[in-house]
Amino acid sequence: MEGHEKNNVSIWCLISMASIPLVMTLGNSMLIPVLPIFEEKVGISSFQSSMVITSYSVASIFLIPIAGYLSDRFGRKMVILPSLVLALIGGLVAGYASWKLDDPFTWIIIGRVLQGIGAAGASPIILPLVGDLYKDDDEKTSACLGIIETSNTFGKVLSPILGSLFAAFIWFLPFFSISFFSLISIVLVFFFIKVPKEKEEPKKFKEFWQDTKQIFKQEGKWLYTVFLIGVFVMLVLFGVLFFLSENLEKIHDLHGVKKGFVIAIPLFFLCVSSYVAGKKIKGELPIMKKIIMISLAVLSISLVFVGYTKENVFLLLLVTSLVGIAIGALLPTLDAIITQNIEKELRGTITSFYMSSRFIGVAAGPPVMSLVMKNHLNISYIITGIIGICIVLIVMKSINTDKKEAAN
């Protein structure tokens, strides 16, 4: 059996799975450092430019659970491939509109919505796919999820550098590059991901709906907590990145690739932290709970100081790097908690709800930050820090390690 498992998950299969979150992360995060350029070239406000990120994410929020169900019903690859094609088309629409139209904003948003629909079908299905491939081996599942989440976060590190590099040549090149990366991912997934054949018939919708309701009834307490952390963490991450991008240009006069490299510093720490956490958790719930609580506490305390350090680049990067380390530790831990504690038939659906919750945070972060940045920056960060501490208390109450240990 062990040999069979190893054959199942080749290194190319791993690379192919890791390419999907990488592409989808590039699809969103690469545009953050370029938003001030969009504002100038398209003649839009910072709130409108934040919609370039939000439109992608809003489309994902509503469609991810549907994609999760379809992947449980018809197979992971049957949903992933058409989704990647949509992401490719979305990049072409947004890029072509920017290139050829005098007033491209509406078409950029349409292209971004198409990309968001593509992201909805591809990203969330990777988590249950890992669970399928590794069957009941919690330790291997955790390690693989660590690699997948690291790929996601590595995409975040590359994003500001690549985005500002592409935009330095032609300001709308980042849109076209997303299509190119999607194409690479399509080829990899098509040839290298071999999903195990299913023995049993997939569930009918009515039966599936009953089971989903039952899971939320039984496991809702800890599931809703994990979803809440997902919203909070991504709201903080994308809000802070949006703030950094604007702040480095307007206060520190950093532009282009130089700015991209500076934004990549806290994201690099996020990436390393994600990789280390993926290695450490090994499928053990008490360790996961500890990591979640410590990371949330570090995140909450660091956030309070972000606004106060905005005039000093070194201090600002120190504080945002702490934010990055905390978020990096949280992401693979949350992935693993869900993947390992939900039965396979409903894994796609439950992880989809979780990914939707993350996209709510991604969608809300930039516009919220654009609204509070001018007059309410410090108080906003302090309130966010207090909310984070409240979530630590909720985690203490709602994630019951004894019960889960018994279940495992």
The Cα–Cα gap between 231 and 361 comes to 4
Contacts of 363 (CB under 8 A, 6+ apart): 53, 54, 57, 58, 61
- Residue 72 confidence (pLDDT): 74
Q: What is the pLDDT of residues 292-311, one digit of tens each?
A: 999 999 999 999 999 999 99
pLDDT digits (tens, 9 = 90+) for 259-285: 999 999 999 999 889 888 878 776 678
* Other residues' Cβ atoms within 10 Å of the Cβ of residue 106: 10
Residue 1 pLDDT: 35
Q: What is residue 172's DSSP assignment?
A: T
Most confident option among 8-22, 105-119, 389-403: 105-119
Q: Is the pLDDT of residue 401 over 80?
A: no
Distance CA(140)–CA(339), nearest Å, equals 12
- Tell whether the model's pLDDT for residue 403 goes beyond 60: no
Among 16-25, 154-163, 387-396, 397-406, name the one with the lowest average pLDDT.
397-406
pLDDT band for position 398 (50/70/90)? Answer: confident
CA distance 131 to 288: 17
Report how far residue 295's alpha carbon sits from residue 378's, in angstroms, rounded to the nearest whole number. 21
Question: CA distances (Å), 26 to each of 62, 155, 330, in order?
Answer: 21, 6, 20
pLDDT digits 0-9 by tens, 172-223: 899 999 899 899 999 988 888 877 665 556 666 777 778 778 888 888 888 9
* Residues 6 or more apart in contact with residue 227 via CB below 8 angstroms: 353, 354, 357
CA proximity to 164, closest of 365, 26, 22, 302 = 26
Residue 280: which residues within 8 A CB-CB, separation 6 or more? Answer: 287, 291
- Cβ neighbors of 209 (< 8 A, separation 6 or more) are none
Domains in the chain: ranges and CATH: 13-193+214-407 (1.20.1250.20)
Single pTM value for the model: 0.82
Report the range of poorest mean pLDDT among 11-15, 42-46, 107-111, 133-137.
Answer: 133-137
Residue 139 pLDDT grade (very low, low, confident, very high; cuts 50, 70, 90): confident
b/e map 305-339, b = 16+ CB within 10 Å: bbbeebeeeeebbebbbbbbbbbbbbbbbbbbbbb
Structure tokens at 287: 């360790």
pLDDT category of residue 60 using cuts at 50, 70 and 90: confident
Amino acid at site 383? I
Q: How far apart are the first and last CA of the chain?
A: 20
Res. 3: pLDDT tops 60: no
DSSP secondary-structure letter at 9? Answer: S
Average pLDDT, the chain: 84
